[in-house]
Structure 1
Amino acid sequence: MTNDTQNSPQTDPTSSPLVLVTGGTGKTGRRVAERLTDRGRAVRIGSRSAAIPFDWNDESTWAPALEGVTAAYLSYYPDLAFPGAVEAVGAFARLAAKTGVERLVLLSGRGEEAARAAEDAVRDADTGWTVVRCAWFNQNFDESFFLEPVLSGELALPTGAAVEPFVDADDIADVAVAALTEEGHHGEVYELTGPRLLSFADVAAELTAATGREIRFTPISVEEYRAVLAAAGLPGDFADLFTLILDGRNAHLSDGVRRALGREPRDFGAFARAAAARGAWNA
């Protein structure tokens, strides 16, 4: 699951060249913005609450957000698999090219047909582009969707014994920043995974080891999970993303982190130990 939501402080650009980070308060966007700022880059946070608001669902916000921008990180909320995402991303990419944006870096999803269509739309926008195609995030377990289940001690999910090569948001951000600021990444599709395939039962075991308390995995049906999402006030369409795990299309590793950065990706176990050490799952 590659959608990207999480709160972060606003970053205000003060010099050029200027990088727009859409989803700039999200799991990857926040990290991308922090890394760009550390490199001395001017950053404009793309969010509805920003000083210059940006909203994927409001085209009137796009041109002001793009003013003076030379590169942009595109993270679509809620997910590229949702209706209207391809059209919005394509229209935004074309507008970005017309306003002088030289680099677009798209956060995409592994194995999602709609995500591939969004990738094509960015390619067709007549500007430099890089695709960062990702597996499900490690940080889904400590920053968003699965945080409450981990805290409750039970991951009840419609995955069965299927496996997924979970990828760390810090690796995603490092690749995105390289593509936004360095040469040699134009026209590249970086498919990012962690170093191991893990079932959700394996994940529960890793979390149990990291936290020192039992985290169980309980398989449920997609319809049962849809009801869980509804009760939490989340879109039921998120349940459909589990079909990407169940049919095995993503049950393989990729070398995108190594190709982009020249190093190995972070393991889920290392992520879990670090998150537990900082108190991410303290009740």
Structure 2
Amino acid sequence: MTHGTTLILGGTGKTGGRLVRRLTAQGLPVRIGSRSGGLPFDWEQPATWGPALDGVHAAYVSYYPDLAVPGAVETVTAFTELAVARGVQKLVLLSGRGEDAALTCEKAFAAAAGSGNGAGSDADWTVLRCSWFSQNFSEGYLYEPVIGGTVALPAGPVGEPFIDADDIADVAAAVLTEDGHTGRVYELTGPRLLTFADAVAAIAAATGRRVDYVRMELADYATALAAEQVPADVAAFLTHLFGTVLDGRNARVTDDVRRVLGRPARDFDDYAKDAAAAGAWNGA
């Protein structure tokens, strides 16, 4: 298939940055869409969308802060319709697993993209529905708690199939550069379930440092977020995530990483060991 320029929204983020490196390593042209990019892209500024889409063949759509927040459906729909009108041929949406609002957004995205059969003005589309990122502990908001030695969250004994961001990027690169993924929804998970306490214990073992997990009540967590001056929309999303999504609905693994890549998903222990060896948690 022909590979034109790929627009990668969130191209400096956990999955987008990895995807940029994979496509450029293949010699494929990419355009990074971010607020700080050379060609700025801002979800809250629709005037920035058109210039970012000019001459683009495919787009990786990562919506900030999350598809489950209010207004996401309308914004993603408008962007998708504009992308199709501008001649984008392939669209890949990063979504969240177990989020009802994200599912609504997925359906709107697919409808806006069209049938995906290449006819008329339709675009091929694929959804990557992902579990909790392993890298949230090393590159996200849980980094500082790990460094501080205590991770306190309102998550109990329910297992989560943590997914490695490198696996997500590998799948995204394959979907964007290969045929056969049109109209598919891939649920990307790691190979086994771990509780948050299990995950923190794995990080402690990998680093050789004491890192404790403390289970909080949801109300106390919300109070702590407010005290830390976390933006209200982000705090609302986090409390929704821990209070609703982590209720067991995602406590199963899939084989979709293997289906796309022909290899198993990466285990959390391997992520923790490699991140520790790379100095991910060496900060003071």
TM-score (norm 1): 0.92
Deviation at 1:236, TM superposition (A): 1.2
Separation in structure 2 between the aligned mates of residue 246 and residue 183 of structure 1, nearest angstrom: 34
The residue aligned with 1:252 is: 252
Q: 1:239: how far off?
A: 1.9
- 3-state secondary structure, aligned to 2:250: coil
Distance 1:254 1:244, change over 3 A: farther
SS of residue in 1 equivalent to 2:239: helix
Could you say what secondary structure the match of 2:126 adopts? Answer: strand
| 2:4 maps to 1:17 | yes
Give the share of equivalent positions with the same residue, in percent: 58
* Equivalent position to 1:136, from 132, 135, 154: 132
The whole-number CA distance in structure 1 between the counterparts of 2:165 and 2:146 is 18
Distance in 2 (CA, whole Å) between partners of 1:232 and 1:136 is: 22
Moved more, 245-254 or 264-273: 245-254
Cα offset, 1:243, TM superposition: 2.5
Hey, what's the Cα distance between the residues in 1 that align with 2:208 and 2:18?
28
Whole-Å separation in 2 of the counterparts to 1:275 and 1:223:
32
CA–CA separation in structure 2 for the residues paired with 1:23 and 1:150: 25
Per-residue deviation, 1:279: 0.8
2:156 matched residue in structure 1: 160
Return the offset for 1:188. Answer: 1.0
Stretches of structure 1 that go unaligned for 5 or more consecutive residues are: 1-15
Moved over 4 A (4+): none
In structure 1, how many angstroms separate the alpha carbons of the residues matched to 2:86 and 2:50?
8
Structure 1 residue identity aligned to 2:281: W
Shift of 1:218: 0.5
Matched, 1:199 2:198: no
Alignment of 1:1-283 (within 5 A): 17-124=4-111, 125-126=113-114, 127-234=123-230, 235-237=234-236, 238-282=238-282, 283=284
* 8 Å Cα contact 2:10/2:34 also seen in 1: yes
Aligned partner of residue 93 in structure 2, secondary structure = strand
Shift, 1:187, TM fit = 1.1
Q: How far apart in 1 are the matches of 2:140 and 2:223?
A: 18
TM-score, normalised relative to structure 2: 0.92
Rounded to whole Å, the distance in 2 between the matches of 1:58 and 1:70 is 22
| Whole-angstrom CA distance in 2 between matches of 1:253 and 1:66 | 35
How many equivalent pairs are there? 268
Per the TM alignment, residue 94 of structure 1 is displaced from its structure 2 partner at its CA by: 0.7
1:23 offset after TM fit, Å? 0.6
Separation (CA, whole Å) in 2 of partners of 1:263 and 1:119? 26
Does structure 2 retain, via aligned residues, the 8 Å contact 1:93–1:121? no
Take 1:258 and 1:37, find their aligned partners in 2: how far apart are those partners? 23
What SS is found at the alignment partner of 1:105? strand
Aligned amino acid, residue 164 of structure 1:
E
Aligned residue type for 2:178 = E
Shift of 1:245: 4.3
Say which SS state the counterpart of residue 186 (structure 2) adopts. strand
Whole-Å separation in 2 of the counterparts to 1:25 and 1:228: 28
Give structure 2 stretches of 5+ with no counterpart.
115-122
Residue number in structure 1 paired with 2:117: none
Contact 2:98 2:245 in 1 (8 A): no
- Specify the code of the residue in structure 2 equivalent to 1:280: A
Residues 32-62 of structure 1 show CA distances to partners (whole Å, capped at 9, x for unaligned) of 1111111111111000111211011111111
Query: 1:163, 1:245 within 8 Å by CA — same for their partners in 2?
Result: no
